[in-house]
Amino acid sequence: MPDAIPISEPSPFLKEGAQRSEAAGPTVSSHTPMIEFDHVSIAFNGRPVLQDVSFNVPHGQTLCILGRSGVGKSVSLRILMGFLKPDSGSVKVNGEEITTLSEEGMREVRKRITMVFQNGALFDSLTVRENVAFPLRERGGLDEEQVLAIVARLVEMVGAEDVMDALPASLSTGRRRAVAIARALAAQPEIVLYDEPTTMVDPLVAQRLGTIIQRLKRQMGLTSIVVTHDMRFAERLADAVLFLHEGRALFFHTLEEFVRSKDENTKMFLTLDAYKLPLSP
């Protein structure tokens, strides 16, 4: 397959190092965070979920959000997608404030951000090939030969070329997530959000998913946020770590600093993560 296919605008998943067109958004300065949360708070039914949380993700880097269940990790992603509005604080994508945008304005932002959900969110009645082709056909501007060539390249990138004609229900959890990543990339995003990608998969599959995400970052220069409770997964991916505890950001720095942290909540999280249940005799 050729490295590049002539389409209406450059495609980073077809040719490594390709530049995005101006239609995909303004050029990002190396000094401008691609994502920025500034003192963000949100509560559900009076219960604080995020409290005064601040962090940023530079262009092309990966932030891993760590913490136990129910501390607001996935809520952060939903705020970025515009599915939730914070009660206070600022959220910027490439310097643009998104908390005040209308739904129409958020639709434009979502052309540049895509999210890989825990369940994959694939269309059950469509094959792997058709699922990955869906965003390309929705966008338009490509003939069928071009669509199928792009789909083949994306599916190959995530190692699912042997299940192109399978329905999602016949796939393992790990395979569904790999296909969901391929479909997310078909939208040509600048930012990819991963919501607990290793939940309910075995360590070998988690390792494969980590390899896929690493490769995409290296080849396509994507900015990513990975929500996870799995330190081993974070160790492979993180340029920086945000640790949430009871809705607050207790830590935002490098992974190396996180591991050396003297905070009691951080040390407890790391201890529990490292604990292995004894094997049955």
Question: Which DSSP string corresponds to 262-274?
Answer: --HHHHHHHHHHH
Query: At how many degrees (to 10) do helices 144-157 and 128-139 cross?
Result: 130
* pLDDT tens-digit series, residues 98-128: 999 999 999 999 989 999 987 667 899 999 9
Q: Count other C-beta atoms under 10 Å from residue 232's C-beta.
A: 14
pLDDT in tens, 146-160: 999 999 999 998 889
Those residues whose C-beta lies under 8 Å from the C-beta of residue 126, and which sit 6 or more positions away, are 134, 167, 168
Query: How far are the Cα atoms of 56, 96, 122, 243, 248 from residue 253, in angstroms, in the given order?
Result: 10, 24, 34, 9, 15
Residue 173: pLDDT band with limits 50, 70, 90: confident
**Residue of 116, 226, 88, 97 whose CA lies nearest to 181:** 116
- Give the sign of the dihedral formed by CA 134, CA 137, CA 142, CA 144: positive
| Mean pLDDT confidence for 250-274 | 87
pLDDT score, position 206: 86
The answer to whether 72 and 53 are in contact (CB under 8 A) is yes
Once rounded to an integer, what is the mean pLDDT over residues 228-251?
91
Closest of 16, 26, 11, 4 to residue 216, by C-alpha = 16
pLDDT recorded at residue 274? 62
Burial class (CB in 10 A: 0-12, 13-18, 19+), 47: exposed
CA count, 13 A, side-chain hemisphere, 280: 0
**Strand partners of residue 113:** 191
For the chain, which residues make up each domain, given as ranges? Answer: 33-273
Which pLDDT score is estimated for 19?
35
pLDDT band, very low/low/confident/very high, at 14 (cuts 50, 70, 90): very low
120/58: higher pLDDT: 58
Task: Note if the pTM is more than 0.75.
Answer: yes
Superfamily of domain 33-273: P-loop containing nucleotide triphosphate hydrolases (3.40.50.300)
| Mean predicted confidence (pLDDT) in 173-183 | 90
Looking at residue 253, what is its pLDDT?
93
